[in-house]
Amino acid sequence: MRILITGGAGFIGSHLADRLLDEGHSVIAIDNLATGHTRNVEHLAGHERFRFVKHDVTEYVYVEGELDVVVHLASLPSPVDYLRKPIPTLKVGALGTHKALGLARAKKALFMLASTSEVYGDPLVHPQPEDYWGNVNPVGPRGVYDESKRFAEAITMAYHRYHGLDTRIFRIFNTYGPRMRVDDGRVVTNFIAQALRGQALTVYDDGSRTRSFCFVSDLVDGILRLLESNETEPVNLGNPDEMTILEFAQAVQRLTGNETELVYVQPTDERTKDDPQVRRPDISRARERLGWAPRVGLEDGLGQTIQYFRGLLGDEAA
Ligand code: UDP
């Protein structure tokens, strides 16, 4: 198949590109490099079935020839990024999704939307099944991301219902692994970089909020299974292994050998406003309809991620 990935030089997009190429497909990766980086795809330079195009998906996308699949991953999914760049976040979720859908429709391609657990907001139902409609504050700081993805899901379903476009929607829960940006401000990268630099880990508030962390190869497996399925309803892709941020900090300390104290920080900006108190995917649908469940445990996944950051930080890493 010939597959276009928006956000193809990003953390998840580049791993998806690797996997699709391994399976014999051709990949066109487009990325405006706002948060993605050519470093993530430089090992693919010269690959005969891979092409990288620097382009912003909020602008008209022109692609010559046929396409079988469009995977729309372009986004600014890290809270520090979307708080800093709220308007580009809304634009890529709204205008970018519209352009990517238009491209898929013109090429009669399958359209796959990367959505998010943030569509559930600060959830009142726990764990979160796909038929929960969520608890999002539209005018809060996180609203720019959450609502852009909710809009993206709505317009995807409109193209499906009105234009008969074949579509898939996957809701990604906190995913981690090599190629995350060291400065993306998320808990995984903050803690690993702090630990490797011998600094104290910054636990926001009291560390009692929960997240469930999924290793990137498991997510990519789920995306491929969804691609091969006929499932047009949204599907959660995440690891149900839930833990508090405090427990997560301790796991990073243990695996890096960092022995500094944790510091409890009360961010003064809007970083933790409307921060979901709990998050854990109900993956019954993915299990039943795709035969998918994550396989990589935290120790293994974190080990690989720590190794990547050790290489990236070089002499800075203790
Ligand atoms: N967090 C933290 N310390 C950090 C960064 C994040 O305690 O240095 C917390 C944050 O407040 C949230 C959780 O970790 O409760 C996950 O945050 P992240 O930015 O990774 O992503 P989110 O799941 O909120 O989108």
Pocket of ligand 1 (CB under 6 A): 79, 174, 186-187, 190, 202-204, 209, 211, 245, 272, 275
Please write the tens of the pLDDT for every residue from 142-171. 999 999 999 999 999 999 999 999 999 999
Tell me the C-alpha distance between 6 and 282, whole Å. Answer: 27
In CATH, the architecture of 2-175+215-237 is: 3-Layer(aba) Sandwich (3.40)
CATH, range 181-211+242-281+296-316: 3.90.25.10
Structure tokens at 250: 């301790």
Residue 318 has pLDDT above 80, yes or no: no
- Is 145 in the active site? yes
Q: Where are the domains of the chain?
A: 2-175+215-237, 181-211+242-281+296-316
Give the predicted TM-score (pTM) of the model. 0.97
CA angle 159, 164, 166 (to 5 degrees): 85
Question: Can you give the pLDDT at residue 315?
Answer: 82
Ligand 1: centre distance to CA 209 (Å): 9
Which entry of 120, 145, 159, 176 is annotated as an active-site residue?
145
Question: Can you give the pLDDT at residue 317?
Answer: 81
Question: Can you give the pLDDT at residue 313?
Answer: 92
Which residue has the CA at smallest separation from atom 21 of ligand 1?
186
Structure tokens at 51: 């092409």
User: Residue 212: pLDDT band by 50, 70, 90 thresholds?
Assistant: very high
Token pair 């998918």 is found at 292
Strands (E), 78-200: 110-116, 167-172, 175-176
Q: Do the strands 69-72 and 110-116 form a parallel or antiparallel pair, or are they unpaired?
A: parallel
Q: Do the strands 110-116 and 167-172 form a parallel or antiparallel pair, or are they unpaired?
A: parallel
Burial status of residue 108 (CB atoms within 10 A of its CB: 0-12, 13-18, 19 or more): exposed
Residue 259 has pLDDT above 90, yes or no: no
Ligand 1, residues 211, 244, 250, 279: which to mutate, most atoms within 8 A of Cβ?
Answer: 211
Amino acid found at 14: S
